[in-house]
Chains A and B, each alone.
Chain A
Amino acid sequence: MIGKKNHTVGKLVFVKAGLFTTIQDKGRLNLVDKGIPLSGPMDEEAFHLANLLVRKDPGAACLEIYMGNINLYFTESCQIVCTGANAKIEVDSKVYATNEIINVSAYSRLNIFPFSQGQWLYMAINGTFTSEKVLGSQSFYPKITPLAKFSDSDILIYSSSPTPIPSDFAKIKTKNLPQMIFVPAYRGPSFSSLNKKQQFTLTNTSFTLSTIQNRMGIHLIEKLKHELPELISSPVYPGTVQLTHAGKIIILMKDAQVTGGYHRILQLSARGISRLAQLRPLSNFKFKLIE
């Protein structure tokens, strides 16, 4: 007879919740036809990796943490892993890196320092973060879920799996960001309406992320002057590169609205969205056309 081991239910307490900490799962794909934004992780690749490392379904709910500077504790011991941005994670004055399983004992203080590279970090748990599912998803979204983000002293209920993950498996190396980032993209519907020079500028010159960015979208600094006519609204997606009438370039991210009236000049691939999400304001990158 094998006794059935039970999950332990505990509380995660945010002492310092940081600038923008939310729960993200795979989002609300089934409700885009009602105008509900998709949501989901800004860096999907890092999110999948986090779940993979704790042997969870790739779309399971994780904490998404922006820029770090977080302090929290768990009331029951558990195992976690952090992926995405490069960060130093300290538990009881022992320092860990991303991509490694961390055993956290009850009431130990967990510090995530300001990130050294990247912007978004995912914390997955060997267990489950059990926040309310609204319209089929745990992803936070203002006005849809009770919380838009976590604040200091907020509490999140979790259950910890009774089956520990052994820590002796091969470690996945934390990667450094290269000097020049290429963001892969497909041609958007309005790409062919741009003239050859505009197309060349878009796909061969370097662009800069502005400070105007959030989970809905990222504005670029460089403008692309054009004389395209105005349009009626069409569907837009995370990764749609919009060109406004005034020539401003806006790249839509996970919380973007589902339709928009601007020209759609490029569409980032899933990898392109993940890459762009980790770039900080004033970073440079080039779009790389996927043929």
Chain B
Amino acid sequence: MRFFDLVGLILYNLNRRKGRVALTAVGVIIGTAAVVVLVSLAAGLQKNATSQLYGISDLTNIEVYPGYSMGDSQGMAVAVGGGGGKQMPDMQLLTPSTISDIEAIPGVKQVIPQDYLQLGIDMVYGKLHSYGNVIGLDTDDLSNMGLTASQGVTSLAKGTIVIGSWVTRNFYDPKARPNDPPVEPPDLLGQSVKFVLSKWSADGVEVKKTVTLKVVGVLNETRGMSDGSIYLPLSEVTAWNEWSRGTRINRNKEGYSMLNVRAESVDVTTDIADAINALGYQANTPQSYVEGINSFFMVLQVIFGGVGAIALLVAAIGIANTMTMAILERTREIGLMKAVGATNKDVLSIFLGEAAGIGFLGGLGGVLIGWGGSAILNVVALSYYASQVSQQGGLVPSMATSTPFWLPVFALGFATVIGLLSGLYPALHAASLVPVNALKYE
């Protein structure tokens, strides 16, 4: 039997039992649509999670903290690191020689040392006060950190600061009464802001120092750490820290509290992080979080896909039932086919083909409905999220569902194979019928 004839006969047979084929295919449609929608949903959640992570920090950045041969937690590194921190005996410090070591790793574009302010500050603008996370970076331009300005510039210079997008929102009036309207965030670009530094001398007296700095840039919102940060040149922060403790900081002996290692591309980020870890430091990259989250969502996709697959399994039983009934009804026809020269293989192929055909048709419908359903769900869910966000604040997700390009193809193939497998037993039964018994079947 030629392939063309086989396909023709299969289509003919499916066509003459439209109603039953349609009903059976509905089961497959539901199953396939469930697979497509659920997996799209999981993929959408994943994209959301990772895209928000991209916001927190770009993926070419690696944060390096001092290492401990004892294997202490890295949280300790943040607490004790920095210019003023006490050294632990077996600590791998982030010294200038570390920087040159890391710079030698292939794929590293730049190493930017970072330090935090070790003393309390008050930020004053007119009668308003604010606070912020003061970060000193040893670079002359924040664009090296992947940051961009919404107003002004990103360059760091002595006597100037660049602030994150939310810093102005933190301003408050300490003398405000409870019923006063909230403070309008001031426009700080080009304005001078006073920083009041305070420390406690050995005899318990508070010593204050006021520094006036000019705001030269406001950063774009990153939805990450930079939004609440105030950026200064590292030398400035170092000077303040030295003033606070009264002695000079020797980077060769005390190291930096942290290094920002900039990778040339996302692809090499994890390799660089591994290389830095191998040198004995603690390297953290958002890329590794992203990978962890990705693998979590892969599991979620498999689970969601599995739920849909159960629906498909039920549909498979429906196909098997339909085919078994069809073969009972068409027993005489099978006898006739054999009498006029059909081989067992021909009969097997015809009934397998019909079962696979039902699976394929159901899969096709399911993919289309699942695709459409995902798109509708996207719109509905996003408007729901948007209303939630407007009431409670937070971030509006960019998508609820996302259909990977392979999913419809896979779902269609899967439904077809399921149909084929469900038809296997009935088709084998049909093929092995003794012609004379089939012809005499009532």
Q: Do A and B come from one complex?
A: no
A-side residues, CB < 8 A to B, are none
B-side residues, CB < 8 A to A, are none
